[in-house]
Chains A and B, each alone.
Chain A
């Protein structure tokens, strides 16, 4: 009997969810996104409903996660904040992965003078501390959502570029590279259809790990007064607000911390699955 030909995307999805960890990651991630999108509509509280009597209240029947320093329901704020933080984290990490990959691929593949110039440029870039770059970019672009994304992107680019370049350098001499040159593949095609899938794995790991770091960096920006403005309940800002009360009202930091941990866990597991799905060596 003939084997039914499965389409590319179905195949991709099957490999993505092979293994319990990727399944868990996918489910968790989808759950978190759903909850963040729909949850606020189900909550009886608004994100700005100040209730002076419940300032810093611990978890209770009325407020499942307790209240923050202004008596606002923490759960609602977490859910709404998730929208901002998720988009912020994902877009900043993806953008820096994208830009970094382009630099790294071109540098590694072209070699020679182009490689030197790009890598030296990356060296200068990485010599500037991430926080400093963030602050300066924010200073020029002002506070707000999109400028914050740019500010958070800028710091991660050199490490991505360097990592990709390293991989490209090893892959360059492999047989399939020579093979594709022989059959006259165009430069672009070689870069994106052959090199990229093979060099992408460390990037996936660092990008997924970076999402958590991006969320925390956004919190640092809030400390300094850049980035997202109050009363927007972005997760990093919630963390920063609860910092002083760690010893008395741990729920202020526990719940945002746990949610961030779960989200990062989900993304990382998903990232693992992605890596498995994209590994050409696993293709049947």
Chain B
């Protein structure tokens, strides 16, 4: 088992480096001149050339790639944003807590409520409870996220005044963003939980347990739930990866300067240090989460654990 983990950790480093190289190359090849974007329409060619030299983008590709890899992985320096002259690492460090303040509670909320709803729907399949839940999840998934957000703002902030409408002044300003981010994911989780519960309900070992006379509640808890958990865990892991990337839409509607907004503006301005820094960070985070998820699989499903120990 430990050998497996060590192997995964090594491959994690390789992944992160590969992700860095890929995104660096993509940004290098993307059309758009960062010098002109920064200096505006009025800049003349010689000023643009000086700017490109300062940014270091007039060097050959290999040299730039080499410098990037050296700085990022050996000196842990993501560089300085071209757009705003602020160090990328510093900005990420400041913005990450805000994104996590939205992302983690939102994920917990969506998993808990979503799974509960899903199991409820599955155990009442075909009846009113099931239909009601499914309709609700449908609405939540298809309503545009900024629409739901604005509706909530109008109701809870403007009309009732319970929470502030935008900004990050107080902890209360995070309440609405958390709820709005959680809703669509909650819907997906609910559907996923319902579907895998249904699958399990019809499985043979459940029939066996029932025919042996086991109580319903026990069946649900001890037999159905762990087996239904696998796709849910995949969903949770996927959601966790997205948590750190943030949602540019929610962040822009609520004016929260988080990581999502940072990355989006980086792409719009062809700001390579920002984009590469963010992506390398996401890659690292994603790899760790995926490793944990695979370990969870092994823990939950003895059949898989057996495969890993070979």
List the interface of chain A (C-beta within 8 A of B). Answer: 19, 21, 111, 116, 120, 123-124, 126-129, 131-132, 135-136, 139-140, 159, 162-163, 166-167, 169-170, 172-173, 201-202, 205-206, 209, 212, 216, 224, 239, 243, 246-247, 253, 257, 260-261, 263-265, 268, 275, 279, 281-282
B15 touches A123 (CB 8 A): yes
Please count how many residues in chain B sit with their CB below 8 Å of the partner chain's CB atoms.
Answer: 61
Q: Please, which residues of chain A bring their CB within 8 A of the CB of B26?
A: 136
In the complex, B105 has a CB within 8 A of chain A? no
* A-chain residues with CB within 8 Å of residue B48 when the two chains form the complex: none
Q: Are B143 and A136 in contact (CB under 8 A)?
A: no
Give, as a whole number of angstroms, the nearest-CB distance from A253 to chain B: 6
Nearest B residue (CB) for A259: B142
Contact B230 A166 (CB under 8 A): yes
Q: Enumerate B96-119 residues with CB–CB distance to A below 8 Å.
A: none
A139 to B268, CA, bound (A): 12
- B16-24, B56-64, B80-88 - interface stretch: B16-24
Q: Report whether B241 and A162 are in contact in the complex, using a CB–CB cutoff of 8 Å.
A: no
Question: Do residues B191 and A129 form an inter-chain contact, with CB atoms below 8 A?
Answer: no
Q: Which residues of A contact B191 (CB under 8 A)?
A: 205, 209, 268
A163 and B263 form a contact (CB under 8 A): no
The reply to whether B11 and A281 form a contact with Cβ atoms under 8 Å apart is no
Decide: B22 and A129 in contact? CB cutoff 8 A.
no
A202 contacts B139, CB within 8 Å?
Answer: no
A162 → B minimal CB distance (Å): 6
Main secondary structure of the interface of B (DSSP, over half): helix
B223-266 residues at the A interface, CB under 8 angstroms: 230-231, 234, 238, 241, 245, 248, 263-264
Having A126-B241, A129-B278, A166-B230, one finds 15 other A-B pairs with CB under 8 Å, namely A123-B286, A128-B283, A129-B245, A135-B267, A159-B238, A163-B234, A170-B304, A201-B199, A202-B192, A202-B231, A206-B188, A257-B142, A264-B141, A268-B134, A282-B202
In contact, A139 and B138 (Cβ under 8 angstroms): no
The winner among B141, B203, B278 for most chain A CB atoms within 10 A is B141
Rounded to whole Å, the gap between the CB of A11 and the closest CB of chain B is: 18
